[in-house]
Each structure stands twice: as structure tokens, then as C-alpha cells.
A and B are shown apart, each in its own frame.
Chain A
């Protein structure tokens, strides 16, 4: 029995396929497990951080120094593909982590824009949303932190994919709006539509997110996340 969280790890890992020698940056457990799964299986050339100031190999051995100031160079140099979170995201891929409500006097102050503006104009940015709901997938974000396709400028903007606990989404439509790319097994199109606060592009045939291979499943369960943190982030 493959859990929903395990499909999510695989779907996150796929974001870094064929990226080359770039930093796979992720913040949340499942997206981080995805980065490690990618590096352990089909993308060994990826770089990882220890979450602090070091570039590390899979065994934790240090292979480079990456303090914040150099991390920002990796962002603007484009040698990074980050999977960020989103408190809100809209159909164009605009993302908000700053505040909910009116910026002048927010109903809920969140983190602030952090590096979302610089990330989105300079290196590929994907998103991981562990709880897909109309509160996250909104018609219009309250504060554009990460820039979507309708606001993008410059030559490097790209949002390869959005992964949620329900499915995988991309922007492969003529007008670059969010499209359902695959459903995690056990999820229906109606469920996704009901949990999305805007009109989602849905192709006639929606594939399912691919199964993890036996080797990948063993890596996830025995090596990458033996304590089962993934199943606490995504319950289904």
C-alpha cells in the first residue's frame, strides 16, 4: 500500500529531473524528501544543503560553503531550483507568504516576502502545498510575493510545477494558467475542483501521478524518512 505522502514525495522529486548540477532547495519535509529521493535515484548530480550554511552530500559530508550571501548568488546565478511553500497561490502562479488581508493593516501577518521576489525572477521555482484548499488556491493572492506568469519580467522566470496533496499542476496552457497535470491515485477531478478557488484548466484525460518504483519506495521508507514524518505532513 503506497500512501498519499509517498506519491507526493515522488511528485516533488520529479521536479528536479534533468535539472543538471543545480541546488535542489526545499523547505518542508515532503519536498525535502523529494529532493533527496531525486539525488539518490535519477539525479545524482544535484546539490543539497544542510539547511544551514553547507553544501552536503547524501551522507552529510560537507562539499561546499553556502552562507546566505552565497546562497543569494546561487539564486540570481540561476543554478538553483527551489520548491517553496505558499500560503496563497493563484491560477497564474502568483504566490503569497507575506500577509493575509490588506497589506497596510493585515488581518494575519505572516513571514514577509522573504526571497520570493528574487527567486521567481531568477531561478526555477516550484511549489509544495501539503493541504490543498480554496484558502490556498485562491482567485487572487493578497500580496504577490512570488511572481506568477502574468506578472513575470526578465528572461529567467519559470514555474515548473506545483505539487499538492491532491495532484500535480503545471502551467502548460496557451495563456500560462494552472493546469491539472496529474492526480494522485485515489483523488478525483471533482475533489480537486472543489478544493480550488479558481477555474483550473483540466485536460480531457488526466493521468495519475506515477507510482514509486520498488527501489524508490525502499529509499523513502528505509533511508530518507524512516520515522514516517511524511505521513504526518500528508494524511490520506
Chain B
């Protein structure tokens, strides 16, 4: 049993971001506008870090970083706000040629994560062939099966390159100080793979609890992320806001709508110009109060 006094990985969002540098490859967990590590993304926006290669099942994490001009290259299969199908800041950035895009299929993405997590250079997938994914990503290679199928054919597959990352951000419901992370919602998304595919991984969570507390009321298979794949643990209540973090909270739909319809400089000034995550949360509360009046 690890001595918790020596294994404590807790840190602030800004301390997590201090482990990153411009030009790095950053993986961001969650899916669309669900359980995105938004507190960590906001900390990134408060830093000077730019020129990032971002790997994400894209949601507002991509939109925010694109609007702020922090992305050099995006690796994604889609970018969406779920209830608002098209992410406006991602769209605007694409339409003005704001970053380079490596557009791959969802399954190619998943197997790229598996490859990276398993220290494999690639994984074969029956996806991408015949589509324009191959045209717009001419660096993609194919492999021929060494084994003939029942029809005697050696099928050709796309060799999805490993999506290895310098760092990964994910948001979970709970974690202990050592870096064991737990999801309590219905879908793990691919957060464990993001952590295993990255050289360093920072997990934010709604609540840091004692290790024994994790499995007191929840089954062991809810322990999604293990500490050996985690560099830092950030307690960030409401840290996925405005995306959902089931079962702790749903997506903040009115606020997401505000995000999607407000000119970027105005939104950034009001909600993202503060010095801390606390300032953001306070600004959001003030906005909600205004709406009730």
C-alpha cells in the first residue's frame, strides 16, 4: 500500500497546466459536450500555451481553444455540442483556415488510442478505405492481412497510427489523491485510454475522496483510471461545466446556448478573463442570477 503522504498528486488547475509547453500534443477526454475537462481547458486558456496539437472527440474544448487561437492542428472525427449539433467556434476556425485538421473516423480514433496505450505503432481497422479520409490525410498507410479470409482474400486495412500524446486531460466524478479516478455516469467514453496513451495525464474531478471511499457505494469497475497512468489530480467541482457530468449534473443548456451565440471576445471577456476557475464559476453564477430576474 502506497503511503498517501508520498503519493499525493493533488494540484490546482494552473499547476497542471504548468506541466505543459507550447507545441505539445494534448489529448482531451470526454465526448462532444459531455464530461469535458473544462476547468483544465480554462486553465490552459489563462496560460500562454499555444501551437497545440489537440486530439479530441471534439466538443466545446475544441471550440474554446480554436476561438482563442491555441490550436495548430486538430485530430478529430467530429466536433459537436450535442444539443447544438454544430460547434460554432470550431466551424468559424475551420472556415477561416484557423488550424490544420487531421480528420479521421471515430473507430480509427479509438484504435489509434488503443495503439498508443499498448505501445504499438498502429492498429489495423476496416474503416477509412474508400472514403475521402484517405484523400485528405495522404500520410495514412494501409496493411494487407497476413491471413486470408474465408473467401481466400487477404483483406487490406487502414493502419491507424498510434495517437501518442505528451499530455492528456480528463474529467471524472471522483478520484483519490493518488490518481485513481472513478466515473459514475453511464459511459466511460475513452478517458482511461487517453491517460494510458499520454506521457503525462491530468485528471480533474468533482470530488477528491479517500481511496476506501471510492468503492464504498460504487462497484470496482467504476474505477476507470488507475494511478500509474496519472500525473496530477485536480479537484474541480463543477469542473466539466457547461458540459454534462452525469450523475452529478446535466449540461447547462442555457449557458451553452449563450456560449454558442455570443461573439467570442464578449464571451471571453465576461467569463474567461478572471484569474482562476473560481472567478469563472462566480461569473457563471452571476449570469444565471441575472437570467432569473
Contact = CB atoms under 8 A, between A and B. Distances in A.
Are these two chains actual partners, yes or no?
yes
A121 B90 contact: no
Interface string B73-85: 0001111100001
Contact of B156 (A68, A144, A153, A156): A153
Main secondary structure of the interface of B (DSSP, over half): loop
Contact of B127 (A52, A99, A121): A121
Interface residues of A, number: 42
Contacts of A65: 186
A116 B77 CA distance: 10
B130 A153 contact: yes
B86 interface: yes
A113 B97 contact: no
B72 to A, nearest CB: 16
A72 B107 contact: yes
Contacts of B106: 68, 72, 114-115, 118
A60 B152 CA distance: 44
B193 to A, nearest CB: 8
B133 interface: yes
B155 interface: yes
A118 B91 contact: no
B3 to A, nearest CB: 34
B93 to A, nearest CB: 8
A42 interface: no
B103 A98 contact: yes
Nearest to A65: B186
A154 B186 contact: no
B252 interface: no
A103 B132 contact: yes
A116 B106 CA distance: 8
Contacts of A154: 126, 129, 155
B132 A116 contact: no
Contacts of A112: 58, 76-79, 103
A143 interface: yes
Interface in B146-187: 149, 151, 153, 155-156, 186-187
Interface string A130-173: 00000000000001111100011111100000000000000000
Contacts of A108: 91, 95
A54 interface: yes
A118 B129 contact: no
A113 B75 CA distance: 12
Interface string B94-112: 1101000001111110100
B148 to A, nearest CB: 12
B60 interface: no
Contacts of A143: 132, 136
Contacts of A72: 106-107, 110
Interface in B251-277: none
Interface string B114-157: 00000000000111111111011000000000000101010110
A69 interface: yes
A111 B129 contact: no
Contacts of A76: 107, 125-127
A67 B188 contact: yes
A107 B130 contact: no
Interface of B: 31, 58, 76-80, 85-86, 90-91, 94-95, 97, 103-108, 110, 125-133, 135-136, 149, 151, 153, 155-156, 186-190
28 contacts: A68-B31, A68-B106, A68-B190, A72-B107, A76-B125, A98-B103, A98-B132, A103-B136, A109-B86, A110-B86, A112-B103, A113-B103, A113-B131, A113-B132, A114-B77, A115-B77, A117-B107, A117-B108, A117-B128, A117-B131, A118-B106, A118-B127, A121-B127, A144-B130, A144-B132, A152-B130, A153-B129, A156-B126
Top-9 shortest CB links A-B = A112-B78, A118-B127, A151-B130, A53-B186, A118-B107, A109-B94, A117-B105, A147-B130, A53-B187
